Amino acid sequence: MNDDAVEKTGEKAAGGMHLSRRGMLLGAVAGGFGAAIAPSHAEAGSSSKASTGSDDEIDLDRSIPFYGEGVAQAGIHTPPQRHILYMTFDLTTTDQRALQVLLARWSAAIAQLMKGEPIGQVEPERQGAVGFDTGEALGLDPASLSVTVGLGPRIFTEALGLADKRPPLMRELKQLPSDAFRPELTGGDLSLQACCDDQQVAYHAVRDLARIAKQTGVAQTRWTVMGFGRASAGKGQTTPRNLFGFKDGTRNIVDDEDFARHVFIADGPKWQHQGSYQVVRKIAMHIENWDTDRVSDQNAVFGRHKVSGAPLSGTYEFETPDFAARDANGDLLIPANAHIHLAAHENNGGIKILRRSYNYTDGINAVGQLDAGLLFISYQKDPAQFETLQERLGASDGMNEYISHIGSAIFFVPPAPREGSYIGEALFSAQT
């Protein structure tokens, strides 16, 4: 083990480990590359090696800064990493000071983790001591880990003395058509979204942060999802596929202008500027039924061609869909209940949300079916943006036959802390 660590360190010193997903996995991929990394916000990446042109390249040596001034937390604007470990927590205290300690301890630990450093001693010298860090990420690179902390609706209550710090638009999501939530997969007072190009690094981060929550007596785990194969594209990334086999995120938000318009809060109390609302849905897919559906019907459900990703009104993935186009019989090329028809900003008064979803599997369910789906995560400056879209989708999306929204939660994600501070510090100070 120690030898491994030494070897790994040596390798890191020699320039890190670089895996190109293009070179590694995809012999040939149609178009879409070439966009240079243009980091902004908190996630201006640092790497010992200059980036070579595409965010689709995995550079395990890359680390993302945690601290920042007047910017969003990492993990929103950050180009989606390959894996996620998402967990929510229930508060076990109404002591405001205890919550403050947890957020400060979490922030310090996340700063360490995102650098690829342990959060403390793994093998303490002192007799009888338990480790500060659990150790399974020793020798692993940061792999672009980002850990994003969210605060649930019940944080901003009288019980904690934080009612006056409630972000103006913070509330529980309203009930929407086709909601089929299981209580054990729903809600939470705190959330951690750990995204990383190395699954073990993401797991270690959340595990050790959950441990701090228990050590400080502040919070307890509620539900968690481990996801893979990012199912939403970021800037410069080829559009990945969800477990339906379709490209997901072709029309996702990528431009800073859209981030400013739809994602990051810039008004109201100063402490919420560059914050955002995180909506999470655990969406189970009825995989077996989907797999036995004819592809022409699958295409009609999405409104796109499965392989190319092109809208049914066109030929290329990034063509703007023509929702009015009809075939020779006078039928809409993109059916009115197709997923993209209902979700498009053109048909929703210009509303957009940032999607940052991942595929998940929980193995095989109690009735012997593949238990898998999409961990849908969206960011928006107003929860109503999500509600407006989901209200339409939940009511009439052709996809509803093949999915169930089984879990849901909403969190306010405060801005990144500056160095020497911590996430949510403004909640505990006098300023408003």
Partner 1 sequence: MPRIKSLVHSLRFGGITGLAALMPLLPGSALASEAPIHNGASQVAITLTGDKGGSCKLDHDAAKAGPVTFKVTNKTATSINEVELLSNDRILGEKENLAPGLPTVGFTVTLGGGKYQIYCPGAAKETVAFTVKGKAVKKSGTVANLFADGTKGYAHYVDGVVDAMVTAVGQLNAAIQAGDIDKAKAVYPGSRAFYERIESDVDGFVLPGFKATDNAGNLDYLIDMRASNLDPAVGWHGFHAIERDLYQNNAITDGTKKLAAELYANVKKLDELAGKLKYQPEDLANGAADLLEEVQTSKITGEEEAFSHVDLIDFAANIEGAEQAFAFLKPGMEKIDPDLTSLVAKQFANVHKVIETYRDPKVPGGYKVYTAALKASDAAKLSKIIQALQEPLSKISEKVATAR
Q: Which CB sits closer to partner 1, 114 or 354?
A: 114
Which three-class secondary structure string do you get for the chain?
CHHHHHHHHHHHHCCCCEEEHHHHHCCCCCCCCCCCCCCCHHHCCECCCCCCCCCCEEECCCECCCCCCCCCCCCCCCCCCCEEEEEEEEECCCCHHHHHHHHHHHHHHHHHHHCCCCCCCCCCCCCCCCCCCCCCCCCCCCCCCEEEEEECHHHCCHHHCCHHHCCCCCCCCCCCCCECCCHHHCCCCEEEEEEECCHHHHHHHHHHHHHHHHHCCCEEEEEEEEEECCCCCCCCCCCCECCCCCECCCCCCCCHHHHHHHHCCCCCCHHHCCCEEEEEEEEEECHHHHHCCCHHHHHHHHCECCCCCCECCCCCCCCCCCCCCECCCCCECCCCCCHHHHHCHHHCCCCCCEECCEEEEEEECCCCCEEEEEEEEEEECCHHHHHHHHHHHHHHCHHHHHEEEEEEEEEEECCCCCCCCCCCHHHHCCCC
Q: Which CB sits closer to partner 1, 115 or 345?
A: 115
Q: Which CB sits closer to partner 1, 79 or 188?
A: 188
Site size with partner 1, rule: CB under 8 A: 34
Q: Which of 14, 28, 31, 126 binds partner 1 (CB under 8 A)?
A: 126
Q: Which CB sits closer to partner 1, 111 or 140?
A: 111
- Within residues 370-409, the interface with partner 1 by CB under 8 A covers none
Contact string (CB under 8 A) for partner 1, positions 306-345, x = contact: ----------------------------------------
The reply on whether position 425 binds partner 1 by CB under 8 A is yes
Q: Which CB sits closer to partner 1, 27 or 420?
A: 420
Q: Which residues pair with 220 in a beta bridge?
A: 90
Q: Which CB sits closer to partner 1, 107 or 193?
A: 107
Torsion, Cα of 209, 214, 218, 222 (10° steps): 80
The reply on whether position 120 binds partner 1 by CB under 8 A is yes
The reply on whether position 211 binds partner 1 by CB under 8 A is yes
Q: Which of 99, 109, 280, 340 binds partner 1 (CB under 8 A)?
A: 109
Q: Which of 108, 169, 287, 384 binds partner 1 (CB under 8 A)?
A: 108
Q: Which of 49, 174, 214, 270 binds partner 1 (CB under 8 A)?
A: 214
Q: Which of 46, 220, 320, 365 binds partner 1 (CB under 8 A)?
A: 220
Interacting stretch for partner 1, rule CB under 8 A, among 77-85, 123-131, 312-320, 390-398? 123-131
The reply on whether position 130 binds partner 1 by CB under 8 A is yes
- Within residues 75-104, the interface with partner 1 by CB under 8 A covers 92, 100-101, 104
Q: Which residues pair with 370 in a beta bridge?
A: 364
The reply on whether position 283 binds partner 1 by CB under 8 A is no
Q: Which CB sits closer to partner 1, 54 or 107?
A: 107
The reply on whether position 215 binds partner 1 by CB under 8 A is yes
Closest contact distance (angstroms) between CB of 425 and partner 1 is 5
Closest contact distance (angstroms) between CB of 122 and partner 1 is 11
- Return residues touching partner 1 (CB under 8 A): 92, 100-101, 104-105, 107-109, 111-112, 117, 119-121, 124, 126-130, 132, 211, 214-217, 220-221, 417, 419-422, 425
